[in-house]
Amino acid sequence: MIIRHALPRLYAPFRPYASLSSSRRAFSTTELSNGITLAYDLHEPSKDAQKQDNEDAPPILFIHGLFGSKKNNRSMSKVFARELKRPVYALDMRNHGDSSHNPTHNYSALAEDVELFIQHHNLSKPTLIGHSMGAKTVMTVALREKVPIANLIPVDNAPVDAALHGDFNKYVQGMREIEEAKCKRQTDADAILKKYEDSLAIRQFLLGCFVRSEEGTYTAKVPLKILTAALAHMADFPFKDPDQTRFEGPMLMVRGTKSHYVADEMLPTVGRFFPKFELADIDAGHWVISEQPEEFRKAVVEFLQDKD
């Protein structure tokens, strides 16, 4: 449900989208003109479900958060493809999942990757959905005005400079310790992470960033050194003055009422950058999509069906 009033702000621990899965599946890749290769899954509506008069339905790009990947959004992407009858591209951003690594990791670079992906695939006025790091990325794309965007849905992050939750620094420490310990068993790796994080679900989410080396040891799939250096950039937002640039299209800001990333005092700034924004408050912490998937689905479907 889309609501336009503020709810009391509470606090809750982080929760991941999904637990660790050892299964592998095929995915596609696109080499961009800037040298970055992005991996992605394409979820298409069934032929029977497609609207006869809407064969070229506007696509959706779904972007994960820090330490996440395209697999986090797999289930919800399938739901949106089926219910909205649109193709959904779930991306791995640079330095995440199966995409390539690069020492530059900030929102301008992430936005450029998305823009080049849209141009490469000739996607016409897509909808952009992004959580956390992905939320700031999609808002940056919209404000850069390099590609036409129909609308966007940032999830639990605001267009402001705001410090990251301190847990992210702890997560990096734990992940580095796993590599240094050369763990060969998941139980050993999990025991190390337990020193930094009590939640089993979050530990499983972080273990999803690892693969087994040829020697059988747990090795981080993500470039920990690059992402550690990028933590400060992830707290920033590249645009400072709403009077200089705005996105005049529709936007749905989804926030968890138990999270602090989109506090009430940030909403006036959101409105200056995105004057047509609507607000969906969901009873969840920062990990809105996994904590309340049905409420998130309803908010997004209601918003996008109204725009068709």
Catalytic sites, residue numbers: 132, 286
Radius of gyration in angstroms for the set of CA atoms belonging to the chain, rounded to a whole number: 19
Is residue 297 a contact partner of residue 76, using CB atoms and an 8 Å limit? yes
**CB neighbour class for 146 (10 Å; exposed up to 12, middle 13-18, buried from 19):** middle
- The whole-angstrom separation of Cα 248 and Cα 56 is 24
Helix/strand/coil (H/E/C) assignment for every residue in 104-166: CCCHHHHHHHHHHHHHHCCCCCCEEEEECHHHHHHHHHHHHCCCCCCEEEEECCCCCCCCCCC
> Which residue matches tokens 């298409």?
44
H/E stretch holding 300: helix 293-307
- The whole-angstrom separation of Cα 247 and Cα 145 is 8
- The whole-angstrom separation of Cα 94 and Cα 169 is 19
- The whole-angstrom separation of Cα 9 and Cα 265 is 11
At position 114, the amino acid (one-letter code) is V
